[in-house]
Structure 1
Amino acid sequence: MKALFHEGKAGMEGLTYGDIAEVNPGPGEVRVKLKTAGMNHRDLFVLHRHNPTDPALIVGSDGAGVIDAVGEDVSGVEVGTEVIINPGLGWQNVSDAPPEGFEIVGLPFHGTFAEQIIIPAENAVAKPEHLTWEEAGVLSLAALTAYRALVTRGQVKPGMNVFIPGIGGGVATFLLQFAIAAGAHVYVTSRSEEKRAKALQLGAKAAIDSNEDWTQALEGVKMDLVIESVGAATMNQSMKQLRRGGTIVTFGSSTGDLVELNLREFFYGQYNLLGSTMGSAEEYKAMLDFISQHKIKPVMDKMYPLDQFADAFKRLEEAKQLGKIGFYVE
């Protein structure tokens, strides 16, 4: 089968689009003939985390397609079923943190940038009917990350003020849509005028230029909840926007991991700081129910044929996307 795999060299130089051996599903597994797949920033990290001297690894965590083979001891799943892939492996129930052994499709196991993928049967979930193949293929990782950060960890409620620095990427656009659907008032930032305009179109109450003074731009409005993924560059600015007793949930650190924190301001402010990452199968199904109820769709940036992977990776690396980038893989 055709696939995009990584071996031999670190980074982009190790990516090859070519033929790789097909395999059949084992006990408890299904094989999905993929139609579409979606990119995430994780794909960029994998290119440096996968040891190039290890066996070839098919990259990618998101995808959707049709089951075309079923292994032994699998029930309730039939060939021909249209499915979307839950990329989280080994995390079934909602818990405070992922269990030991939790992994994500695309490292250390083969991912979705291929014509086929073999996964545990429980990770092949019925595709929401309101989504196209393009939308379904790019949904899972970003939407699940957003759902857990906002709903499980952030405990979003109607009427809350929610702040999302760095609007434009996949998780951030889901956070915006989910928070609005939950009845919150959403404020965002971006350096891009185009991304700010899109956020307002999607329902944000205000979209601030990242280079502005955020406190001044918000004119005294304080936030109940901030969802942070930018990292060191914005964490302290984000905290200044919180009301006393407010909460920051962080799930990323694209601008650096180390932050100087004024502990006295933090404890006098009675702030809450929570970490989050991905989510459980239970949360995944709750997220799919939520998007089906509210008819939420991913904000789509651009779809590429899989053999044009270099252009797609460059667009993601340069943060030019507005929403999700995807591949046609069949």
Structure 2
Amino acid sequence: MRAIVHENLDGIEGLKVKEVHEPGLKQNEVKVLVKTAGMNRRDVAVVEKRHKGEDPALIPGSDASGIVVETGDQVTRFTIGDEVVINPGLGWIENSEAPPRGFEIVGLPDDGTFAEYYACSEEHLETKPEHLNFEEAGVLSLAALTAYRALFTRGKLQKDQTVMLPGIGSGVLIFALKFAKAIGARVVVTSRSGTKREKALELGADVAIETNSDWKESLSGESIDLLLESIGEATFQKSLEVIRKGGTIVTFGATTNDEVKINIREFFYGQYNLLGSTMGSAEEFKAMLHFITQHNIKPELDRTFTLDQHIEAFEYVRNSRNFGKIGFLINE
């Protein structure tokens, strides 16, 4: 089968398309013919942090949709021909405060979805929502699950609250925007890009401000109940300044420096909540799929690439050119 493989050279330059063996199948596993494989910023981070002199060849990729083409003897949930989506979280089945020991994400350390076939245990597959085509379903899972847990499990967003999404444009934040509007919450977004601010308003955002502006001034004193922080050092202090006393920041990433400084006295006097969040359990994955079906929510699909356009795709995401999700069309 053809696959995007990372080996020999550091960074994006180490990617190439080559013929590799199809994955084998254990008794509890399902083999999926991949139709579309979604790309995430994590995929860029994976190939940029590996050292090819030490690490074995790897097929990256965490998201995919496709058709079941083979099942192991012990598989009971799926049959050949079923249309499915892959849960990118491995080893986290039941809801819990944090991932259990052994939790991993598809695409590192084991091979991922940027290939013509992918195999996994049946408990890490779900039926494709009927209202989504393969392209939409293939770019859904990681970003939508991350947004769902950050907003609802960790952030406990309610319909009468205001949520702020700094740096709108990523797949996670656009899902968060759509999820929040689906329950009737007020949404504030920021972006350095005027085009992205306009697109966010078209999707239902109530307020869109420039990321480099004075947020307190731009919001005219409006306080924020919940803020999803994924930028890190560059915006963290500004985030604290606009959260209402007793409000919550949920962080799930850092596109700028990981380390931040806070005035701890101001923090505890403000009674703020700072919560971490990562992906979600299989139970949350099922709940998220039910939620998007109930509210007829679809991913914002920016564009698609072929496997042979892999370098262009990785550079596109690395340079944050996307508004929403991108994917690889593998078996059309």
Taking structure 2 as the reference length, what is the TM-score of the superposition?
0.98
Match of 1:2 in 2: 2
Alpha-carbon separation, structure 1, partners of 2:193 and 2:302: 15
Contact 1:224/1:247 (<8 A) preserved: yes
Q: Deviation digits for residues 239-258 of structure 1, max 9, x if unmatched?
A: 11111100000000110111
Amino acid across the alignment from 1:329:
I
Alpha-carbon separation, structure 1, partners of 2:110 and 2:73: 20
Cα-Cα RMSD: 0.9
2:118 paired with 1:120: no
Q: Which stretch of structure 1 is more off in the superposition, 70-79 or 292-301?
A: 70-79
**Aligned with 2:234: secondary structure?**
coil
Q: Deviation digits for residues 52-83 of structure 1, max 9, x if unmatched?
A: 23332111000000010111211121011000
**Aligned with 1:68: secondary structure?**
strand
State the Cα distance separating 1:51 from its structure 2 match.
Answer: 4.1
Alpha-carbon separation, structure 2, partners of 1:87 and 1:76: 18
Match of 2:33 in 1: 33
Match of 2:268 in 1: 267
Alpha-carbon separation, structure 2, partners of 1:322 and 1:191: 13
Match of 1:307 in 2: 308
2:33 paired with 1:44: no
Contact 2:77/2:122 (<8 A) preserved: no
Alpha-carbon separation, structure 2, partners of 1:260 and 1:192: 26
Contact 2:31/2:117 (<8 A) preserved: yes
Contact 1:156/1:182 (<8 A) preserved: no
Alignment of 1:136-147 (within 5 A): 136-147=137-148
State the Cα distance separating 1:49 from its structure 2 match.
Answer: 3.6
**Aligned with 2:285: secondary structure?**
helix
**Aligned with 1:314: secondary structure?**
helix
Alpha-carbon separation, structure 2, partners of 1:42 and 1:72: 33
Structure 1: 5+ residue stretches without partners: none
Contact 1:224/1:246 (<8 A) preserved: yes
Structure 2: 5+ residue stretches without partners: none
2:213 paired with 1:212: yes
Match of 1:159 in 2: 160
Alpha-carbon separation, structure 2, partners of 1:296 and 1:210: 27
Alpha-carbon separation, structure 1, partners of 2:256 and 2:23: 39
Q: Deviation digits for residues 123-155 of structure 1, max 9, x if unmatched?
A: 121000001111001000000000000000000
Q: Deviation digits for residues 163-200 of structure 1, max 9, x if unmatched?
A: 11000110010010111112210000001111101111
Amino acid across the alignment from 2:214:
D
Q: Give me the identity figure in percent.
A: 55
State the Cα distance separating 1:23 from its structure 2 match.
Answer: 2.9
**How many corresponding residue pairs?**
330
Taking structure 1 as the reference length, what is the TM-score of the superposition?
0.98
Match of 1:79 in 2: 80
